[in-house]
Amino acid sequence: MTWMCCQFNELSSLQLYDVLQLRSAIFVVEQDCAYQDIDGLDTHSETRHLLHYNEAGELLAYLRILAAGVSYPDVAIGRVVTAASGRGQGLGHQLLDRGINAAKSVWPEQDLYLSAQAHLQHYYQRYGFITETAEYLEDGILHVGMRWQANTEYSKSS
């Protein structure tokens, strides 16, 4: 199994295709939500992409990390996704754990923000994210704004 965290210009064309295919399969098709996934933020010079491939070369998990000021005032974790074939293996937990650690390694003093689907807020709370907004509609799905404070003790390891 392979984990990689890289910037846009480090992704191969095949890796980019895998990312866009996975995000479309889950966020657009599975969740029946037509929205503009390719939003121009993937290519930002400070954006990080965290990918997990299995031994067969299938992309099973992905998230992106946006620098502060790119989309939100704080560093933001988003596009958190696990392929249907990768669910039930703890990959989502590994993905979020590695995502937090990757963000902390690049921006150690920054809070993390996440626009979470409302039904997943308890999942993110397990990692120290605190719900800070009321529910709101984003692309037809209820979301909440959540924050992880930089001074939060975080001891989970990848």
Residue extents of the structural domains in the chain: 2-148
pLDDT bucket at 121, cuts 50 / 70 / 90 = very high
pTM of the prediction?
A: 0.91
Measured CA to CA, the distance from residue 114 to residue 131 in angstroms comes to 9
CB 132 within 8 A of CB 124: no
pLDDT, tens digit, for every residue of 62-83? 999 999 999 999 999 999 999 9
Residues 6+ apart with CB under 8 A from 95: 50, 52, 61, 62, 63, 80, 82
Q: Considering the domain delimited by 2-148, tell me its CATH architecture.
A: 3-Layer(aba) Sandwich (3.40)
Among 5-9, 109-113, 149-153, whose mean pLDDT is lowest? 149-153
**What's the distance, Cα to Cα, between the start and end of the chain in Å?**
13
